Structure 1
Amino acid sequence: MLIGILQTGQSPDALRAEAGDYPDMFEAALAGRGLEFCRYHVEDGAFPASVRDCEGWLITGSRHGVYEDLPFIPKLEAFLREAYGAGVPIVGICFGHQILAQALGGKVERFEKGWAVGPQDYDFGGEKLTLNAWHRDQVTKVPPGAKVTARNEFCEFAGLAYDERAFSVQAHPEYPDSFIDGLMRTRGPGVVPEPLMAAARARMGQANSSTAMADRIAAFFLQPRPL
């Protein structure tokens, strides 16, 4: 199954040589699960010609806010609405989670309680999954018809499902601990409170649920759908 990665940001220059860029991380995380990939750097204006160019779409994270006045954001929202209407499956991660919600009638805001950084525990319908996070923005209003699939005390709408057509999570299952550590070194100082970064460092190296979430993403894409 061919999945188009809609790249909405780039990993920091200081980390890219070792960690790769966002599409590299997704391809590594989802390897061996029956998926093939192509890339579209939509942040730079490189959009697919049609929502049918791939069999599914995956939206990456970004340093941008979905509410920013940037040329690629309204174009991406329109593309996602068209893909959703056509029944082409969509997965959104972090910024992808947020822009999909915004495109389909939800609301995203800078969260008043601040940042989530590093390993976080989420309740997926009674199942605890631990995933890395790096965000301050959150979905604050769920789009019509969306179902909340994950939450915790800090992030009420951490996972959303839109029947069989779309699925999104606020966390970053593609981020290894080493990349979170790199973000704390390169983007964190003076932006993220040091106690939050210290708490994240204290949990690093423990088992997390990134593999389980990669399995869920692949299963979502590969499930049978009406023609």
Structure 2
Amino acid sequence: MKIGILQTGHSPDEVKAELGDYADMFVRLLDGHGFEFETYSVVDGQFPSGPDAADGWLITGSKHGVYEDHTWIPPLEQFIRDVQAIGLPMIGVCFGHQIIAQALGGKVEKFAKGWAAGPQTYDFEGKPMVLNAWHQDQVTQVPPSARVVATNAFCENAALLYGDHIFTVQPHPEFAARMLEGLITHRAPGVLSPEQIADAAAKLDAPLDDRAMADWMAAFLKGQKS
């Protein structure tokens, strides 16, 4: 099964040699599930020929906001609608979670209470899961076609399910401790408060449910979860 990765941003240059780009992190996360991958750097204007260029799709995170004026955002939104129309499986993470919501009639805004950074606990319909987060923007209005499947006190709409073929999640299962450390070092200063930086750094070794989420995502892409 071929998964097309729509890369909407780049990892910090300071960690790229060690950890790769955002698409590489998803390839590692989903390793062992029998997928082949092709990356399209939509942030650089590289788009697939159409929604049928892969058997399923995954949209990465980004430093950009989905509401920003970038030439690649409107065609990405249309591509999302095209994928939805033909019923292929699609997963969105962080920016991917937000751009799918925006494309399908929801609303995304900067959250008034600020940033979530580091391990956070989410309630996935009664099942607690700990995943790394790194965001200020949030889906504040859920699209009519979606239902909320994960939440916590800080992020009300932490994961959304659209029928049985689109799943999106705000936190980053692909971000392991080393990536969080890189973000804390190279992107947090001047953005997060010193207290937030110290708190996130202190939790770098917290146990995560990233493998459980990876298994769930793989099953969803294969049509085995709804």
Global fold match (TM > 0.5): yes
1:196 to 1:90, Cα distance in 2 relative to 1, 3 A: same
CA distance in 2 between partners of 1:58 and 1:8 (Å): 10
| C-alpha distance 50-105 of structure 1, shift in aligned 2 (>3 A) | same
Offset of 1:35 from its aligned partner?
A: 1.4
Q: Which residue of 2 aligns with 1:37?
A: 37
1:169 aligns with 2:202: no
Aligned residue pairs: how many? 225
Percent identity of equivalent pairs: 55
| Whole-angstrom distance in 2 between the partners of 1:141 and 1:34 | 35
Q: In structure 2, what is the Cα distance between the partners aligned to 1:175 and 1:155?
A: 18
Structure 1 unpaired stretches of 5+: none
Shift of 1:206: 2.1
* Cα shift at 1:224: 5.6
Aligned to 1:194: 194
SS in 1 for 2:180: helix
Tell me the C-alpha RMSD between the 2 structures: 1.0
Superposition misfits of 4+ residues, deviation over 6 angstroms: none
TM-score (norm: length of structure 2): 0.98
Aligned to 1:51: 51
User: TM-score normalized by structure 1?
Assistant: 0.97
1:63 matched to which residue of 2? 63
Partner of residue 9, structure 2:
9
Q: Which amino acid letter does the alignment assign opposite residue 83 of structure 2?
A: A
In the alignment, is residue 105 of structure 1 matched against residue 105 of structure 2?
A: yes
For residues 67 and 167 of structure 1, the distance between their equivalents in structure 2, rounded to whole angstroms, comes to 21
| 1:8-157 alignment, distance < 5 Å | 8-157=8-157
Take 1:214 and 1:223, find their aligned partners in 2: how far apart are those partners? 14
Deviation string, structure 1 residues 73-106 (Cα, Å, up to 9, x no partner): 0000000001101101110000000000000000
Do the aligned partners of 1:118 and 1:197 also contact (CA within 8 Å) in 2?
no
CA contact (8 A) 1:134 1:171 kept: yes
CA distance in 1, matches of 2:126, 2:38: 35
8 Å CA contact retained: 2:7, 2:60? yes
Q: Which moved more, 1:198-207 or 1:52-61?
A: 198-207
